[in-house]
Amino acid sequence: MATVPPPPPAFLPDDAARAIAEGRHDDPFAVLGPHRRGRVTVVTAFDPGAERLSALTAKGEVPLYPHPAVRGLFEGRVPAGAYRLRGEAHGQAWDYADAYRFGPVLGEIDEYLIGEGTHRRLWTALGAHVREHEGARGTHFAVWAPNARRVSVVGSFNFWDGRRHPMRRRGATGVWEIFVPEVGEGMPYKYEIIGADGHAQPLKADPVGFGAEHPPATASVVRDISGYGWKDSDWMAARAERNRRESPISIYEVHLGSWRRRWDEGGRPLSYREAAVELVDYAADMGFTHLEFLPLSEHPFDGSWGYQPVGLYAPTIRHGPPHEFRDLVEAAHAKGLGVILDWVPGHFPTDAHGLARFDGTHLYEHADPREGFHRDWNTLIYNFGRREVANFLVSNALYWLEEYHVDGLRVDAVASMLYRDYSRREGEWIPNVHGGRENLEAIALLRRMNETVYGEVPGILTVAEESTSFPAVSQPVHAGGLGFGFKWNMGWMNDTLDYMRRDPVHRRHHHGQMTFGLLYAFSENFILPLSHDEVVHGKGSILGRMPGATAEDRFANLRAYYGFMWGHPGKKLLFMGSEFGQAHEWNHAADLDWGAAARPLHAGVRRLVRDLNALYRATPALYRKDCEAGGFGWIEAGAEDISVFAWARFGAAGDPPAVVIANFTPVERTLWRCGLPRPGHWREALNTDAAAYGGGNIGNLGGVTAEPVGWHGMAQSALVTLPPLATLILVHDS
């Protein structure tokens, strides 16, 4: 029999007791748990399902007294030291550790840095961390909600009852925290937030949560992201060389949910671990240097392709838990592939469980829709000028690079961030403090992000999808730039695709679309993107853009275009399916047309892309000076009457130069004289009309030899046969 203790010196006042029971007490840790009252320790506990409650101590079981005015609230004198609680009701008993006997976890440095907006590794303080604290194993929850009156963590461990685990407010930082013992890996949870007006918000997912439930469920999930045994140290030590602008970079862009599906299992997408074998082996065999994934942070709507994320710190559960995503990254590194993630700091969706009005106020977003709402996407815009929000975003960029060994981030929709009038009519936007249209706060955020990640993580790269002429996007911050490593060349993509869609008989009138890009090709560190955006929303496929009365003509145009692209200055990016000339538009709810990929003309395109990647990586002249004017020289830019283009590519001293010649008419041109930058033999390193690719096999019998006949301003030249609708790449035999 348990010893019946004397009652507490005085029960909690009725008004405070009711506040606890109703979940509206401002400081529950000041009331609940063990507290000294005079010379004794009194434990106050709230368990609304219990008829009786006792404390299990080292000295035995000590009953607690029910509060006379409030059901579920119990108090009693308890010996000092650790204890557990035991509840009883309806013939059932349960026992558990009391969350209110544990002290805070966050330290003063965390508080200071969070308040200052300079906590670079915010995820180490906020979120849900499985840990040991004061001798107990459990999960520490912490969330920023500065305008809340009360914040509780809720889940199945407390019957989703916000009265059971109201959190501790940490000073003026706006952070709330609690350590809940015996809650661990895989437990769903949300935050119940009472706003300053006393009204409850919809249950909120954790902004810094590391996991989430499978959509359409919306809870966060406790994930222990510690303890992964990385084995990619060799890659990490050497990757800086692979990400430099002087290195070959050829990117395979992938939407993981639709690359390949398991139709024998209901059409599910590949898991991270399956992709670690199938996708990684495929991309490596194709000769790509990097995989780029459309956003893999958690998002509620499949149709957003990940570009409307809710869980910026959570790898989507659609393919597996966080450690399995690490398995994918590590497998890519083992095969010599870098991993780039699309990252979305420009906007977020309005879903009730997300960041919108998170604590009952416009916390993450602007209050004024002229600053805070994107009509194009029906999404909200972060308040980039708020220090805590900027910290949240910059830390998130660092999180993916550090915790998951990701090699780069491609930042989506940068133009929408840079301009306050982006996609807005007059009167629908607010000028900056100088009366201009530039979003100064977003510019500062992007610069801070790039300075942070390049400064903290050696060897990574960042890429901007920026569609305007904003200056110095890929120049260092200290030189006045935004600090990105690379920028997508959207102008090149738009101009060249528009040219290629035209019937060859009309191309002479649009010759400048293929040459214009060279006027600015070296103003930024450019990537040439044929991305997912070019195969959606009724645009069809890249192959579908190609003209021709026959399939052979359409494929010949595509092959010639790819040869032009791989020979052109700039790094390369190709969206999945385009490497084998998929005919239909990309569908995120299906997978690639792998049946078509095996058909002869499609297989020929795939062989061509593989060979282009191999030649590109093996020929320094084609990549070493991609971003320097000294790596390029026109040979023939004005042959609009015959739609022929020719140029030379140069690497460092001692690198054999290359010459690229493209013929965009269906006419074979024999004895076309081409000036060459060096005497000697030039091997035909690649011919897009080769029979192996599905072409007519017209060419130059392995190469040409320069003769001392001046042409195109050069001292030597050669007569070259130009196949119809084809690109040649000649490399000097040095």
CATH 3.30.450.20 fits 233-620, yes or no: no
166, two tokens: 């109201």
Bridge partners, 717 (sequence order) = 675, 707
pLDDT of the residue at 7: 73
Check: CB of residue 531 under 8 Å from CB of residue 575.
yes
pLDDT mean over 4-13: 75
Count CA atoms within 13 Å of residue 291 on its CB side.
30
pLDDT in tens, 165-204: 999 999 889 999 999 999 999 999 999 999 999 999 999 9
Check: CB of residue 399 under 8 Å from CB of residue 451.
no
pLDDT of the residue at 38: 85
Q: Give the domain 108-221 fold.
A: Immunoglobulin-like (2.60.40)
By percentage, how much of the chain surpasses pLDDT 90? Answer: 96
Would the pLDDT of 358 be above 90?
yes
pLDDT range class, residue 1, cuts 50, 70, 90: very low
DSSP single-letter state for residue 345: -
Would the pLDDT of 235 be above 80?
yes
Q: Alpha helix locations (H) across 437-541?
A: 440-456, 490-500, 512-515
pLDDT in tens, 407-460: 999 999 999 999 999 999 999 999 999 999 999 999 999 999 999 999 999 999
Q: 342, 378, 354, 383: which is closest to 366 by C-alpha?
A: 383
Left (φ > 0), alpha (ψ -120 to 50) or beta: where does 613 sit? alpha
The DSSP line for 359-421 is TSS-SSB-SSHHHHEETTTTEE-B-TTSHHHHHHHHHHHHHHHHHS---EEEETTHHHHHBTT
DSSP single-letter state for residue 5: P
pLDDT of the residue at 734: 79
pLDDT of the residue at 39: 86
The DSSP line for 649-699 is E--STTSPPEEEEEE-SS--EEEEEEEESSSSEEEEEEETT-GGGTS---S
CATH 1.10.443.10 fits 14-97, yes or no: no
pLDDT in tens, 569-624: 999 999 999 999 999 999 999 999 999 999 999 999 999 999 999 999 999 999 99
pLDDT mean over 701-730: 97
Classify each residue of 311-326 as buried b or exposed e, where b means 16 or more C-beta atoms within 10 Å of its C-beta: bbbbbbbbbbbbbbbb
pLDDT in tens, 308-342: 999 999 999 999 999 999 999 999 999 999 999 99
pLDDT in tens, 28-49: 999 999 999 888 899 999 999 9
Residues annotated as catalytic (active site), given as ranges: 412, 465
pLDDT range class, residue 4, cuts 50, 70, 90: low
The beta-strand segments (E) located in 505-560 are 526-530
pLDDT range class, residue 661, cuts 50, 70, 90: very high
Would the pLDDT of 378 be above 90?
yes
What's the CATH superfamily of 629-732? Golgi alpha-mannosidase II (2.60.40.1180)
| Peptide bond between residue 529 and the one before it cis (omega within 30 degrees of 0) | no
DSSP single-letter state for residue 70: S
pLDDT range class, residue 9, cuts 50, 70, 90: confident
Would the pLDDT of 6 be above 80?
no
Handedness of CA 256, 262, 267, 271 (dihedral sign): negative
pLDDT mean over 524-535: 97
Q: 410, 694, 375, 651: which is closest to 550 by C-alpha?
A: 694
Intrachain domains 108-221 and 233-620 with the same fold = no
pLDDT in tens, 464-496: 999 999 999 999 999 999 999 999 999 999 999
Mean pLDDT (the chain) is 96
Check: CB of residue 583 under 8 Å from CB of residue 596.
yes
**Would you kindly state where each structural domain of the chain is located, as residue ranges?**
14-97, 108-221, 233-620, 629-732
Count CA atoms within 13 Å of residue 119 on its CB side.
23
pLDDT mean over 132-161: 97
Would the pLDDT of 5 be above 70?
no
- The Cα–Cα gap between 730 and 339 comes to 31
29-33 long-range contacts, Cβ below 8 Å, gap at least 24? Answer: 29/100, 29/168, 32/98, 32/100, 33/98, 33/99, 33/100, 33/101
Check: CB of residue 317 under 8 Å from CB of residue 299.
no
